[in-house]
Amino acid sequence: MSDRIETIKKIVKKAAAEFMQKESSGQSLITITDVRLSNDEKYANILFTVLPDDKEEAVLEFTKRMRSEFRQYVKHNTKLGRIPMFDFEVDLGEKHRQKIDTISLK
């Protein structure tokens, strides 16, 4: 992967973490785990995990509602020239990894 794409992903991941910390209600812990950027840099999927698990659906709805506000946040708080369209999704891979870790520790 090119250095440019990696740099954009790092910037977006950091901005997403800051945005969630500022805008979320604090009733759950939202962790930004990864950013998947399209090759043309027009679209970015932001993956996250939520603790406690029962807040996952509410957080997903919250992130979907806040996409345009997040885009504005990135525009005003980073030096990215072209701002991608954002979407959010639960990081199922990380969730499964955590379950495997829990099972293997027993």
* pLDDT per position as a tens digit, 2-53: 899 999 999 999 999 999 999 998 889 999 999 999 999 999 999 999 999 8
Q: What is the pTM of this model?
A: 0.87
Furthest C-alpha separation in the chain: 49
Query: Domain extents for the chain?
Result: 3-105
pLDDT band at 1 (very low <50, low <70, confident <90, very high): low
Which CATH fold topology does 3-105 show? GMP Synthetase; Chain A, domain 3 (3.30.300)
43-51 and 85-90 strand pairing: parallel
3-class secondary structure per residue, 29-89: EEEEEEEEECCCCCEEEEEEEEECHHHHHHHHHHHHHCHHHHHHHHHHHCCCCCCCEEEEE
Give the per-residue pLDDT at 73: 98
